[in-house]
Amino acid sequence: MKEKTILIVDDLVENLQVIVSIFEQNRPDLVIYQANSGKMGLELALKILPDIIFTDWDMPEMSGIDLIRELKKYKATREIPVIMATGIMISPENLREALEAGAVDFLTRPIIAVELLARTHAALLLSEQHKNALSAKDRQLAESALNLTKNDAFLNKFKKRMEDLLLAFPDDQTHPKEEIAAIIADLDNHFIQDGWQRFQLSFDAVHSDFIQTLAQAHPELSPAEVKLSIFIKLGMNTKDISNLLYLTPESVKVARYRLRKKLGLTYPHNLHNYLTAF
């Protein structure tokens, strides 16, 4: 089972220490990350994609409210549950402002261990539900892509048989040859190309801004590299990708290496995690 990660954002070291200490004593299974500013918290959140985030309200440069609003701008972080923790902004109006900004919960200081642990448990369940729903949709997309490959393989075999049949007809059999040529053209111009278009529509329905955001960040990517990025984002293995792109597994490995270079990734940065952030 994947370890659960929590990001705590607070500009005061003593506040960080209180929360970390409670987790270390009661939830040693959690991986804890810390940031001492809203800006650092945003950068770290985009990099590690934690399961939940705790943030202080009153911080210089970027407040907790501003941090939540920034997190909501990114596809990869907008669904991460954020819990606001504060000892100052504790009025009902403050609570409403935090919830309207996108926080899922609200903690007042001084932090009570039982309350912190209970709210953490609830937020982790919420995070898990979202990830499971997204994973199920991604599995459906991956299966759809593989079925597309099988369908293309069948259509290509059928097309090859029609081409052989076309060659077998005598030159004076004009009408049947024209009919067969029309069928071959239909296969080229409709069924085979339409399959990928239908898959892309399904992908866009789940990951609406992935292709556009990726293209904006890396306009140098070729259409083939964007397609490879889609399959990697869906968590597909090298064998399945090789079948989808009609490449050998070794060619896919080379393509992945070149994609990493174009994206400016160096080890140990994970390609799948990087693409998930879009």
CATH code at position 74: 3.40.50.2300
Tell me: do 159 and 75 sit in the same domain. no
Per-residue pLDDT of the chain (278 residues; tens, 9 = 90+): 568 999 999 999 999 999 999 999 999 999 999 999 999 999 999 888 899 999 999 999 899 999 999 999 887 788 899 999 987 766 778 888 888 998 998 888 899 999 999 999 998 888 887 766 666 666 777 666 666 666 666 666 777 777 787 777 777 777 777 877 877 777 766 555 555 666 776 777 777 778 888 888 899 999 889 888 988 888 888 888 887 777 788 999 999 999 999 998 877 678 887 887 77
Q: Nearest to residue 14, comparing CAs of 109, 90, 88, 141?
A: 109
Query: What torsion, rounded to 10 degrees, do the Cα atoms 255, 260, 261, 265 define?
Result: -170
Tell me: do 93 and 200 sit in the same domain. no
Tell me: do 106 and 166 sit in the same domain. no
Tell me: do 150 and 266 sit in the same domain. yes
Q: At residue 185, what is the residue type? A: A
Q: Is residue 129 part of a domain?
A: no
Q: Nearest to residue 234, comparing CAs of 191, 267, 199?
A: 199
Q: What is the pLDDT of residue 201?
A: 67
Q: Write out the residue range of the structural domain in which residue 188 sits.
A: 135-276
| Residue 96 C-beta-side C-alpha neighbours within 13 Å | 3
Tell me: do 45 and 101 sit in the same domain. yes
Tell me: do 64 and 160 sit in the same domain. no
Q: Does the pTM of the predicted model rise above 0.75?
A: no
Q: What is the pLDDT of residue 55?
A: 96
Q: What is the pLDDT of residue 134?
A: 63
Cα–Cα distance measured from residue 144 to residue 5, given in angstroms and rounded to the nearest whole number: 31
Tell me: do 139 and 272 sit in the same domain. yes
Cα–Cα distance measured from residue 178 to residue 259, given in angstroms and rounded to the nearest whole number: 44
Q: Is residue 260 part of a domain?
A: yes
Tell me: do 197 and 238 sit in the same domain. yes
Long-range contacts of 245-249 (CB under 8 A, 24+ apart): none
Q: What is the pLDDT of residue 43?
A: 93
Cα–Cα distance measured from residue 54 to residue 50, given in angstroms and rounded to the nearest whole number: 10
Cα–Cα distance measured from residue 171 to residue 147, given in angstroms and rounded to the nearest whole number: 38
Report the number of distinct structural domains present in the chain: 2
Tell me: do 98 and 193 sit in the same domain. no
Q: What is the pLDDT of residue 10?
A: 96
Radius of gyration of the chain, Cα coordinates, nearest whole angstrom: 26
Alpha helices (H) along 72-192: 92-101, 113-168, 174-186
Tell me: do 97 and 139 sit in the same domain. no
H helix or E strand, kind and range, residue 108 = strand 105-108
Tell me: do 30 and 163 sit in the same domain. no
H helix or E strand, kind and range, residue 58 = none
Tell me: do 181 and 81 sit in the same domain. no
Q: Is residue 130 part of a domain?
A: no
